[in-house]
Structure 1
Amino acid sequence: MEMWTNQSNKAALQAWVKETGIQLVQVNGQRKYGGPPPGWTGNAPPPPGSEVFIGKIPQDIYEDKLIPLFKSVGVLYEFRLMMTFSGLNRGFAYAKYTNRRSAQRAIATLNNFEIQVGYLIQVCRSTDKCELCIDGLAPSVQQCQLLPMLQELTTGVLDISLHPSPFRKQRQLAQVKYISHQAAAMAKKALVEGSLCLCGDQVEVDWLKPNTKQELQNSPVQAFPKIFPSGPDRKTLSQGLCGPEDCCMPPGVGTVLDYLNMQCEERQLGTPVFLTKCIQKNPEGWLRFWYQVVIPKYPSPFSGFIWLKPSHSGLEDHEMAKNAVALQLLKALGCPVV
């Protein structure tokens, strides 16, 4: 439910939309005009460098003020105002022109423009950033866990690599590349607002800064093949990332799940409660499971995705998934696993 703090501004926007017949489409936390605009006859979208970033916008200023202002210096191809669920803008927007010259004119003319008494907006060139960094991942997190989770939560993942975090000891940082700036921006919004939690760890999501990227290039990287949309490839399988078969439990302990239950009991954490769901099967027979595990006295739940291939162990698919997840949880909890 939208909660407008300035009813007169809301009424002005609605009157302007009705008077001009302009169409504003709200999707994924942004309200968009154009892309292309009505009457567009071009065969291709504007070239790179045609978009400007607009910052420091008062939260109760809307398109009825912004679009005419930015149209005054050139023909707009697209205008995107970032919105909150409460009906306020998020303080920034993007204006894409039909050519670079209009974008340069917008920067020269409208940067530090007083849009409201005491409020100067910022207008600068929009950079096509396509890479995010996810910092704070546990050392036990592997790409076969992280990739399917990101594919489920976001769209347009192009490449991913894991590095030791330069900012947090004993943690990993994931460098994630998307197919476009817009895909990366939508992914960042989804991950930040979704409070991404992987294997019980709260992580930080931000744009990958040039100095951080340079530092990562000089650090070790866990090699990972390009995206596998239908399941793990042979290299992934040979690394044994997706099953508990190679794990040896202490004498007298049955399955990995039994061992996890025993460890949680010894630590007085309570018995883990598992939720698993098979959501995909690829042509090679691999199964993709979503899971969530709640350990009663652990601060946060564990959730994610895992690939498994049915074996001849006699375990049902869901029991096999629980054992594979239990192995990951044992590592995350720092339990001894051989």
Structure 2
Amino acid sequence: MTTTDVKADISSTTSMSLNSAGSDDGSEPAVQHPMNPRVEAKIKALCQRTGLVMKQENGQRKYTNPALTGKPEKGTEIFIGKLPRDLFEDELYPVLESYGPVFELRMMLDFNGNNRGFCFVTYQTRNESQAALKGINNFEIRKGRLLGACQSVDNCRLFVGGIPKSKKRDEIMEEMKKVTEGVVDVIVYPSAADKSKNRGFSFVEYKDHKAAAMARRKLMPGRIQLWGHQIAVDWAEPEIEVEESVMKFDASHE
């Protein structure tokens, strides 16, 4: 990768297009200050050393590795919490790559461009991600500062309640495709009392977690109705419960 390529990747600004109007968890996009020269120099050096490509958008700095082709195995993303707020990727990345090639790193940012205390990292294989999970959890990144790590859940399915019981699967599929993007399947269960009717809810499967998160954000109560009915929307399965000890940071160190 040339210096020009790195500079172009680093200078990418926050995307404000409709298709990327929120972060992967469906939250509102964070508008950030321009990257300060010291941080830019650190990231530039990291990209030059590793060949990573960085893009900053939607409240995160996202790194991908062009040298890694093919799709990662399922279940290879891990959540890392308790990051010191003044830590940057050049300090963390050597720890991550010691367990295998990093397919993707997403550092979540606050308004000032500092990390929010957590990030997500994806490896290509489950063996690599499990080794990283064990090694990074309770790893002392700085004196007295232990990281926390746990498995990330790549949830692609939403529960949608409040659906008229007369609606068939194909009708629900058609309606969901009108109001959200990335729908790949709809699961409907018949009523026990009347098999010709549904139970008033369905499960909607999306192509990936980001599409599901964006759909959930769009379908939140009060924002949209289906067939004139108010609907209830949530993740079909509970999102991973990150232990408080993994998520929180000690303010006395900041």
Q: Shorter-chain TM-score category?
A: 0.5 to 0.7
Q: Distance in 2 between matches of 1:61 and 1:93?
A: 11
| Residue-by-residue CA offset, 1:292-328 (whole Å, 9 max, x unaligned) | xxxxxxxxxxxxxxxxxxxxxxxxxxxxxxxxxxxxx
Conservation of the 8 A alpha-carbon contact between 1:60 and 1:89: yes
- Other-structure match for 2:210: 186
The alpha carbon displacement at 1:79 in A equals 1.6
Q: Distance in 2 between matches of 1:164 and 1:55?
A: 42
- Other-structure match for 1:14: 40
Instruction: Identify which of 98, 108, 123 aligns with 1:72.
Output: 98
Conservation of the 8 A alpha-carbon contact between 2:133 and 2:151: yes
Conservation of the 8 A alpha-carbon contact between 2:139 and 2:146: yes
Q: Distance in 1 between matches of 2:179 and 2:89?
A: 30
Conservation of the 8 A alpha-carbon contact between 1:188 and 1:205: no
Q: TM-score normalized by structure 2?
A: 0.56
The alpha carbon displacement at 1:30 in A equals 4.8
- Other-structure match for 1:177: 205
The alpha carbon displacement at 1:50 in A equals 3.6
Q: TM-score normalized by structure 1?
A: 0.44
The alpha carbon displacement at 1:96 in A equals 1.9
Q: Distance in 2 between matches of 1:91 and 1:141?
A: 47
Whose radius of gyration is greater, 1 or 2? Answer: 1
Instruction: Identify which of 206, 210, 219 aligns with 2:235.
Output: 206
Instruction: Identify which of 54, 71, 75 aligns with 2:80.
Output: 54
The alpha carbon displacement at 1:25 in A equals 1.8
Conservation of the 8 A alpha-carbon contact between 1:197 and 1:203: no
Q: Distance in 2 between matches of 1:99 and 1:122?
A: 21
Q: Give the % identical residues.
A: 32
Q: Distance in 1 between matches of 2:111 and 2:176?
A: 23
* Residues 59 and 174 of structure 1: CA distance in aligned 2, closer, same or farther (over 3 Å): farther
The alpha carbon displacement at 1:125 in A equals 3.2
Cα root mean square deviation, aligned: 4.0
Structure 1: give runs of 5+ residues left out of the alignment.
Answer: 166-170, 211-338
Q: Distance in 2 between matches of 1:64 and 1:46?
A: 23
In structure 2, what residue type is equivalent to 1:175?
F
What secondary structure, in the 3-state scheme, does the structure 1 residue paired with 2:53 have? Answer: coil
The alpha carbon displacement at 1:106 in A equals 0.9
Conservation of the 8 A alpha-carbon contact between 1:76 and 1:97: yes
Question: RCO (CA 8 Å, sep 6+): is it higher in 1 or 2?
Answer: 2
* Residues 115 and 188 of structure 1: CA distance in aligned 2, closer, same or farther (over 3 Å): farther
- Other-structure match for 2:135: 109
Instruction: Identify which of 212, 224, 232 aligns with 1:197.
Output: 224
Structure 2: give runs of 5+ residues left out of the alignment.
Answer: 1-29, 192-198, 240-254
* Residues 154 and 28 of structure 1: CA distance in aligned 2, closer, same or farther (over 3 Å): farther
- Other-structure match for 2:194: none
* Residues 163 and 92 of structure 1: CA distance in aligned 2, closer, same or farther (over 3 Å): farther
| Residue-by-residue CA offset, 1:222-243 (whole Å, 9 max, x unaligned) | xxxxxxxxxxxxxxxxxxxxxx
1:161 aligns with 2:187: yes
1:23 aligns with 2:49: no
The alpha carbon displacement at 1:110 in A equals 0.7
What secondary structure, in the 3-state scheme, does the structure 1 residue paired with 2:71 have? Answer: coil
